[in-house]
Structure 1
Amino acid sequence: MSVPSILFGALPSLFFSQLFVTPKTPQTDCSGKTIIVTGGNTGLGKEAARHFVRLGAAKVILGCRSLSKGEEAKRDIEQSTRRTGVVEVWAIDLADYASVQAFARKAEGLERLDAVLENAGVNTQKFKLVDGIETNLQINVVSTFLLALLMIPKLRADGRKFNFTPTLVIVTSELHAFTAFKEHKEAHIFDTLNDEKKANMGGRYPISKLLEVFACRQIAKEHPVRQLGCIISLVNPGWCHSELARELITPVVKFVMNIMCRTTEVGSRTLVDATVSHGSEVHGQYLSDQKAKPVAPLVQGKGGAEIQMHVWQELAEKLEHIQPGILRNLDR
């Protein structure tokens, strides 16, 4: 599929959503729930955490790279909601596998865990390898799914213990539909993407979001809720004002953003909705504007299933290399 045809197909939906759809303020009761939000010190994550506290959550954990910024966010949330003793700040750096593993081990000690909202991510056009993997891919894909697989046993166990269905939500983007992803034809997709000489960094963030979609859908396809023990889904918050695109801001982009973008708070409503307002029917689904919607034609069209399997097999191999035996977490 060519880039012009991709844009022609995806842009009308994007414009309609941005200009004519306003997500509803979440009202789902979160009393007694413990919810983890990565990237919770700023932007969408912080505003989602604020909603969870407002809705009565017993504990909201902000997973942050910077503890000082996390504490600032905690104070702000406490002041605005007038609830104290709810928010905790935990360290996690998705650029460091050991940090992700330590975070997951700490979570095992929670009395109860209801949901994990994986919001942390990066959007950079500067090529840099972290542990041999390009930064967007390392943080948005590899570490994101490393954390997901590490958290599933805890979610499963607590769901069975307290008789509820936990949720694990990965924040993705409508931009997953804005890439031709020519690299999918390669025998070794990640190796190609990690080759600086072949890298088109202007399109790297959409590819990282597309890989998230492939991986989440394949996990859900192979592991139904009754076996996985939790619901795993994807959420698109829409184009929002946030720090994610700070490297890309130019006067022209800023002008367009002022017209098109949702506020951070409005965008966060979709994250909260995905985390606490749906059931097993959204397992493996892509949520946008607070409802399940079709994914990119490259994913659901002819040959999409084969690409999806290829992507997941390569990612699974990398996860198993980082932590041997981790794939068994999906089967127990």
Structure 2
Amino acid sequence: MDFFKAQFTKIPLIKPVNLSDCTVLITGANAGLGYEAAKEILASKPARLILAVRSLERGNTAVTELAKLKAASTEIDVRQLDQASFASIKAFADGLDGQKVDIAILNAGTWSFKWGQTADGYESDLHVNVLGPALLSLLLLPNLRLAASSRAAGSDAPKPHLSFVSSGLHAMAKFPERKLPAGEALAALNEKSKYDGADRYSTTKLISLLWAKELARRTAGDGIVVNAPNPGFCKTTLMKDSAGAMKYVIKASGILLGRSAADGGKCIVDGAIVKGEESHGRYLSEMAIKDEVEFARGEQGTELQKRMWNEIVGVFKTKGVFPNSAETL
């Protein structure tokens, strides 16, 4: 019942805020929710908007359309980023070295419905939805901290934000791997024999939310707001790879219940530039702070997020990509 109520909640317009001296970064910004979020951000006239995209060709096409909406003072920059590659993520972050990033919206995601592995050796959805954004968030911390330290006293611009685009489906995740001994959950999720294509997206969104909450806990006092806005079930191409009966169920559900991508984009941007310190470490839905699934709350939630943090950091250290700047977290 809560899902249906949420889907039919009217999403209000966002009042523009002062982004005149701000750099905004959005991943997966050439289409769908990321593109709609970019359109919404442009209404606040940022100094710079960085579109992080896997395909530069599609990214440049998006820039052509977005340029029709931007203020003359706004620079739009498109850069390549493949969240299925640790090397690509690191190269992207290296290209921003020494530059402040005021708002980072980590939106790019996938739902494959079938088993596949990246060149780095991880199940595709696990890599793109969890490991990729987690690594990027660590690599962007120096840029966000630079924005926080250079923010003028009394500025009416929002504090630096790091927003992980979440999903209400996190609450439907089975995630039995959480009951395994510490250090074994990710390895189990990376086994083909245990892959559940229908559940994988929900599980990856839950783990990403746990990462966001733990990162928020570890960066408290840094002057950065870390949160996880949920855009809701939207009419996008996220589930294009579904098959069989599920494909028709999803199509019908989208027609009957799907929120527009534009409204989903508003929900994301609300978390990234409107919500303030009260949203630090919180899950947001329908532009309001909400509780995440029960076992991710309280002491058991904190313990679980710490466990997943340690496992994810362990992957980065094994692969030699854990940034020195994050050693003190």
TM-score (norm 2): 0.91
Which of 298, 301, 317 in structure 1 is aligned with 2:295?
298
Aligned partner of 1:219 among 215, 218, 223: 215
Cα deviations by residue, 1:254-276 (Å, 9 ceiling, x for unpaired): 12211111111111001111111
Cα displacement (A) at 1:229: 4.0
What is aligned with 2:122? 133
Instruction: Give the structure 2 partner of residue 186 of structure 1.
Output: 180
Query: Which residue is 1:197 aligned to?
Result: 193
Going from structure 1 to structure 2, the CA distance change for 1:323 and 1:151 (only over 3 Å counts) comes to farther
Pick from 51, 63, 66 the counterpart of residue 77 of structure 1: 66
1:216-255 per-residue CA deviation (whole Å, 9 max, x = no partner) reads: 111222331x1x3411111100011112111127333212
Residues 25 and 259 of structure 1, relative CA distance in 2, 3 Å threshold: farther
Residue matched to 1:236: 230
User: 1:314 deviation in Å?
Assistant: 0.5
Report the counterpart of residue 202 of structure 2 in structure 1: 206
Partner of residue 175 from structure 1, selected from 169, 181, 184:
169
Superposed counterparts of 1:155-174, under 5 Å: 155-163=144-152, 165-174=159-168
Alignment of 1:252-263 (within 5 A): 252-263=249-260
Match of 2:97 among 98, 101, 108: 108
Amino acid at match of 2:201: Y
Alpha-carbon contact 1:26-1:272 (below 8 Å) kept: no
Distance in 1, Cα, partners of 2:150 & 2:60: 31
8 Å Cα contact 2:231/2:264 also seen in 1: yes
> Following the alignment from structure 1 to structure 2, what is the Cα–Cα distance between the partners of residues 25 and 45?
16
Alpha-carbon distance between aligned partners in 1 of 2:110 and 2:180, rounded to the nearest angstrom: 25
Contact persistence 1:26–1:269 (CA under 8 A): no
Once the 2 structures are TM-superposed, how far is the Cα of residue 29 of structure 1 from its aligned partner?
3.0
Counterpart residue identity of residue 195, structure 1: E
Question: CA offset at residue 306 of structure 1?
Answer: 2.5
Per-residue deviation at 1:301?
A: 5.7
Q: Contact 2:83–2:128 at 8 Å: present in 1 too?
A: yes
Q: Give deviations 1:83-142, integer Å, cap 9, x for gaps.
A: 5852111011111111101111111243x3211100011111111122221111111101
Q: Is structure 2 residue 318 aligned with structure 1 residue 321?
A: yes
Structure with a larger share of its residues in helix: 1
Structure 2 match to 1:24: 13
Letter in 2 for 1:179: A
* Paired letter, 1:312: W
1:251 to 248, 253, 265: 248
Contact 1:36 1:63 in 2 (8 A): yes
Which of residues 300, 307, 310 is equivalent to 2:307?
A: 310
Give CA-to-partner distance per residue, 1:21-72, whole Å, 9 cap, x none.
Answer: 3243342232221100000100111111111112211110100010010011
Amino acid at match of 1:232: V
Runs of 4+ in 1 over 4 A off after TM superposition: 81-85
Other structure's SS at 2:114 match: coil
- Structure 2: gaps of 5 or more residues: none
Number of residue pairs aligned between Structure 1 and Structure 2? 318
Greater shift, 123-132 or 133-142, is seen at 123-132
Counterpart CA distance in 1 for 2:84 and 2:293 is: 28
Amino acid at match of 1:204: R
Say whether the 8 Å CA contact 1:223–1:330 is kept in structure 2: no
Q: Select the residue among 106, 112, 117 that pairs with 2:105.
A: 117
Q: For the residues of structure 1 that align with 2:145 and 2:299, how far apart are their CA atoms?
A: 34
Moved more, 160-169 or 176-185: 160-169
User: Which of 265, 269, 272 is the aligned partner of 1:272?
Assistant: 269
Quick one: percent identity of the two aligned structures? 29
Q: Distance in 2 between matches of 1:107 and 1:198?
A: 38
RMSD between aligned alpha carbons?
2.0
Unaligned runs of 5+ in 1: 1-11
2:28 matched to 1:39? yes
Residue type of the alignment partner of 1:206: S
AA matched with 1:104: A
